[in-house]
Each structure stands twice: as structure tokens, then as C-alpha cells.
Structure 1
Amino acid sequence: MINTKPPVKNAERAVFELRANLEDEVVAVVDSPLSSWEKQKARRRDQFQRLAPWVVRLMMLFMLAVLIGEIWYLINIFQFGLVQTGLPVDLAIRQLGPDLLPTPIPPPLP
């Protein structure tokens, strides 16, 4: 910025003008409504508050889908046998040990 004012003759006058300019700038900053940073911060907060319920709903939907998937997996395990071993459930449990069940498993029929 080009200074268009004539040069100041004495130092006291320069200090006085400098203080006046600084006071004007401080008053201008204090009197301004919101700085751009504060406006941006408020805008982001408003966006988050509008978005937050949808994020919670999506998370709940995802957790419900995981729960349904786990129940489906358990039903399939006990209906069709263990997928990892390819054995029926009773035979797989028999191999794991009878102490995993509350009642003992009868021996297989010949």
C-alpha cells in the first residue's frame, strides 16, 4: 500500500497518528459482527447438527443389519452344520468336548 500522507515532522506526531490508526483498527475489529472464521465455524456446527440425526440413524441401521446377519449365521450353523469343518453340529460338538454342553451327548448309534 502506498503512503499518500506527507512525511511527519516530529516523532510525537508520528506516535499519535500510529496510536490513532491502531485504535481505529481495534474498534473496527471489535465492531465487526463475526469474522469469516467464526462464520465458517458456526456454519459447520449448523451442518453437523443437521447431519447428526442421520448419522445416528445410519449407525443404528448398520448395527441392526449386523445383528440380523449374526442371527442368520447362527441359525445356519445349527441347521446345516459347522461351515468351517463341514461336520454336523452334534458331531462337531462331540469333537470339541462334552464339557461345553450342559447335558452329556449320548454316544453315536452303531
Structure 2
Amino acid sequence: MHINLAVGYGGRKEITDAMRSIVAAHHADGGSLETLADLLTPDLIGEHLYTGGQPDPDLVIRTSGEQRLSDFMLWQSAHSEFYFVEALGPDLREVDFLRAVRDYSRRHRRFGG
């Protein structure tokens, strides 16, 4: 099981940093913009995210009663299931977590379909 906590994190900045990393690496290898455009794929971008090498989250638990992403794992959560809970992050109890997992286990994943 992987657990990611968002502390001082911004998803848009992460995507921007990933693109900068890709461009810098391509430039260092002597590549042109034209060849870079041909190389760009969702997988390549994903490899350069802060979570590169980790699986995308199956479940995102959103605390504080808000029903929005708040710039959290924008790229990685495209096919994630979401669970919303009223508790604030620091106040999340084990029972809240277990309810989220139970709710998730009853869902039929469609991966965007």
C-alpha cells in the first residue's frame, strides 16, 4: 500500500517541474523542439512527476468536507476513486480510514469509462 500526504504540495507546479525536467534532459542530449514533441507521451511525463515510479492512487481520501481536488495529484488521480470525509486531515481517525477503504471495496472501477 502506498500513502501520499500533501504537505506544501501543488499539482500544477509538479506538472510544470516535470515538463521542465523533460525539456532540460532533452536539451542536454542535444535534442530539438521537433524531436521533443515526438517523444512526449503521458508515460514520459508521469516518469518525471514527483511520484515517478509509484502507481497512480486507486483511492483519494479528501478531508475537511471539501469536494474538490485542491491541486492534489492532478495528473495521477485521473482514474482514482474519491472519498470525502468531514474530519480535518490531522483529525482523521482509524475508523474514518477504514470506512473509506470499505466504501472503496464496494465500488466497481471503470477507469474513466
Name the structure, 1 or 2, with higher relative contact order (CA <8 Å, separation 6+): 2
Report the structure, 1 or 2, having the larger helix content: 1
TM-score where L is the length of structure 1: 0.22
Which structure has the bigger radius of gyration?
1
Report the structure, 1 or 2, having the larger strand content: 2
